[in-house]
């Protein structure tokens, strides 16, 4: 986790409050990051796009059909409230859509401030639009404020089922949504060598893996690793 924090800070140090990439913008203490209408944030895998529309609505679409209502994954519900909106990732942690300029306009969408700091707004590969402070999600389009995320579920069953359940809770508690099918995470029994492909993917990739290692020691006989089980 220490290495993750160092890597995150290194990336931020190399960037201004302008676009970190086509998928994100970063605000620094005392310096907001702005996304005007007509400019998009595209997930690194290209499958999802956040669009600040000229009608005032902020929408996450599947990139293959931008502008089609049935392809919308999330929206700010600010349709018709502006003809020249401005999205600002403020240095106080508040993500705001203004109806005109930041100085003269009024907010039509906001998540609330979290204190001065460095904040990253990113369009993730899973379709989740997330605000991070350092390496912790404070808001996501999937769940809203982190404090508003669903309560952890009761994890029962055998050791592997408990592991799956607990890791899922970690992802949800960090505003990342449920872990998705289709990746290469494995659980290995360090005593017997038995290996099970989880077939689960954390939005955010290795960030989720590091959280699992830190926050869920599970049984000391088990380890969570990235990769596939050896073929027999």
Question: What tens digit of pLDDT does each residue of 76-104 get?
Answer: 999 999 988 999 999 999 999 998 877 76
Binned at pLDDT 50, 70 and 90, residue 168 comes out as low
Mean pLDDT of 105-122: 90
CATH topology of domain 2-147: Agglutinin, subunit A (2.90.10)
| Secondary structure element (H or E) that encloses residue 3, with its range | helix 2-13
Query: Which residues have CB under 8 Å from 103's CB, separation 6+?
Result: none
What the block records as the tokens of 230 is 């050896």
The DSSP call for residue 211 is: H
Q: Please, what sign has the CA dihedral across residues 201, 206, 207, 212? A: positive
Given this model, what pLDDT does residue 150 score?
53
DSSP summary character for residue 64 = G
Decide: 36 and 58 in contact? Cβ < 8 Å.
no
pLDDT on residue 69 = 87
pLDDT over threshold 50, residue 5: no
Determine how β-strand 119-123 pairs with β-strand 24-27.
antiparallel
Q: Report residue 174 as tokens.
A: 């960090």
Alpha-carbon gap, residue 221 to 201, rounded angstroms: 22
The least confident of 122-136, 160-174, 179-193, 209-223 is: 209-223
Q: pLDDT tens-digit profile of 175-232?
A: 554 444 345 567 777 778 887 776 554 444 455 555 555 555 555 677 766 667 777 6
Selected residue with higher pLDDT from 168 and 189: 189
Residue 88's DSSP bridge partners are 34, 96
pLDDT at res. 88:
95
Q: Tell me the pLDDT tens digit for each residue of 13-69.
A: 333 333 334 789 999 998 999 998 778 999 988 999 999 999 999 999 999 999 998
The pLDDT assigned to 2 comes to 36
Tokens of 2: 């220490």
Split at pLDDT 50, 70, 90, the class of 6 is: very low
The predicted model gives 143-152 an average pLDDT of 63
Q: Which residue has the higher pLDDT, 106 or 207?
A: 106
């Amino acid at each position: 986790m220490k290495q993750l924090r160092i890597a995150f800070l290194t990336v931020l140090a190399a960037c201004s409050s302008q676009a970190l990439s086509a998928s994100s913008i970063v605000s620094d203490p005392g310096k907001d990051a702005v996304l005007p209408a007509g400019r998009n944030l595209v997930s690194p895998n290209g499958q999802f796009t956040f669009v600040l529309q000229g009608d005032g609505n902020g929408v996450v679409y599947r990139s293959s059909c931008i502008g089609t209502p049935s392809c919308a994954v999330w929206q700010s519900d600010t349709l018709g409230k502006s003809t020249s909106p401005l999205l600002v990732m403020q240095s106080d942690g508040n993500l705001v859509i203004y109806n005109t300029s930041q100085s003269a306009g009024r907010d039509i969408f906001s998540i609330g401030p979290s204190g001065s700091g460095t904040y990253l707004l990113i369009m993730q590969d899973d379709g989740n639009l997330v605000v991070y402070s350092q390496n912790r999600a404070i808001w996501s389009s999937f769940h809203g404020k982190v404090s508003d995320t669903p309560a952890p579920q009761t994890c029962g069953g055998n050791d592997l089922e408990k592991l799956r359940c607990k890791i899922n809770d970690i992802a949800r508690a960090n505003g990342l949504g449920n872990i998705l099918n289709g990746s290469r995470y494995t659980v290995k029994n360090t005593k017997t060598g038995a290996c099970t492909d989880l077939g689960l993917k954390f939005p955010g990739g290795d960030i989720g893996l590091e959280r699992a290692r830190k926050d869920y020691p599970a049984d000391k006989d088990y380890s969570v690793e990235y990769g596939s089980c050896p073929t027999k």
